[in-house]
Amino acid sequence: MSDEGLTRREFLAAVGAVGAVAALTLVAKGDRPPARSPVFVARAEAYDGRLIDVISAGLVATGLTRSAVRGRNVLLKPNLVEPHRDRMHINTNPAVVRAAAEAFRQAGAATVTVAEGAGHRRDSLLVLEESGVGDVVVEDRLRYVDLNTDQIGVLRNRGRYTDLASLAFPTTALETDILVSVAKMKTHHWAGVTLSLKNMFGVMPGAVYGWPKNVLHFAGVERSILDINFTKKPDYAIIDGVVGMQGDGPIMGEPAPAGVVVMGPDPVAVDSTAARLMGIDPQSVPHLSVASQSLGRLNERLIEQRGEELTPLVTPFRLVPGIPAQDRLRPWL
C-alpha cells in the first residue's frame, strides 16, 4: 500500500470480500476526528411536531449549541430521489426537514437553505413538490437551491479512490457555514446502506456529472462516496429513521418503521450507529470501514452514545439475497 492509501485494485478487493474489509488499514488522508464522537439517538415513532424538540435536543447534546449556530448560514441537504408523495419511505420526510430548519432557526442561525441535486429526474421542482418538501419551503419561507444547476467550484480530489483528479461542487454547498446531510435510513442496491455519507451524492451537480450522476456511477459508487466525503464532508448529519426503507433500496424497497432519529457532527459515527440500529455491522459496509480509518469513528468504544440506548431500538432491516452489496453485510448483535 502506498502512502496515498488504497490503490484501485486494493479497494476493489476490499469491497468484494468482507474478510478484506475487516482487515483494511489506511494512512490518514483527512482531518483527524476528535478522540470520541458524540451521537444522539432519539425515539421518534411519528412525523409530528415533537420532532422539533427531538432535533433541538440532539443539537445541544452533540455540541452544536447556540453559540456554535448563532449567526451562521445553514444548508439542509435532504435525500429527495423520486417524485412519489404517496411513498414517503423513499425521501427524507418533509416533517424532518421542517423540524431541522426550525431547530436551527431557534438556535440562532442567520439563514436556513434547503438544497438538493436530484439524481434521477431533471425536473428538480417536480421532485421537490411531490416529496412534500416544497410545501415546507414555501410555508416556512426557506430558500431552495437546485444543486444540479448551481454555479460550481472545483476542488482537488482529496480521496483519490477513483481516477477523478478533481471534483466540482455547487458554490452554495462550498460557501455555507454548516452543511447538514439530512438523510433517509435505507438499504441500498450498490452501497449496502445509504445514510449521511451516501446522501452527499446528491450534492454533486447533474450539469457536470449527468443523471443519475453517471460519471460517479461509472467511477464506482462506493469509491465515489469516499472521494466526495474526503473532499467535502458534511459538518453535521441527521438521519430520518422514523420510517426507513428496507430491501432493494434506494427506490424499490419497502417501508421499515424504525422509529428513530440519529444525529451528530461525525457522519461516519452517525452512519455506523444507524447501521447498528438497522441490525447491520458497520464494519461490513466497505465505505464506512474505509472512512473510519481517518474520516470519522466507527468503533463503539470511540462513539459517545447520547440519548437512547441502542439495543432496545434495533430493527433488523430486510436484505435481498443475490444483491452483492447486501450479501456481504453482516448482522450486528
- 119 contact partners, CB below 8 Å, separation of at least 6: 81, 201, 202, 206, 211, 212, 213
Kind of pairing between the strands at 111-116 and 143-146: parallel
Kindly report the number of other CB atoms within 10 A of residue 38's CB atom: 22
Q: Is the pTM of this model over 0.85?
A: yes
Number of H helices, E strands in the chain: 14, 12
Taking only the tens place, the pLDDT of each residue in 280-319 is 999 999 999 999 999 999 999 999 999 999 999 999 999 9
- How open is the CA angle 267-56-141, to the nearest 5 degrees? 95
32 — pLDDT class (breaks 50, 70, 90): low
Report, as an integer, the average pLDDT of 8-27. 36
Q: How far is CA 62 from CA 203, 207, 282, in A?
A: 24, 36, 21
Report residue 9's pLDDT band, with 50, 70 and 90 as the boundaries: very low
pLDDT (tens digit, 9 = 90+) per residue, 182-200? 999 999 999 999 999 999 9
Half-sphere exposure of 194 (CA within 13 A, CB side): 32
Euclidean distance between CA atoms 71 and 194, whole angstroms: 31
Residue 73 pLDDT exceeds 60: yes
Identify the pLDDT of residue 8: 45
What is residue 125's predicted lDDT score, i.e. its pLDDT?
Answer: 81
What is the length of the chain? 333
User: Is the Cβ–Cβ distance between 107 and 73 less than 8 Å?
Assistant: no
3-7, 78-82, 178-182, range with greatest mean pLDDT:
178-182
Distance CA 243, CA 238 (A): 14
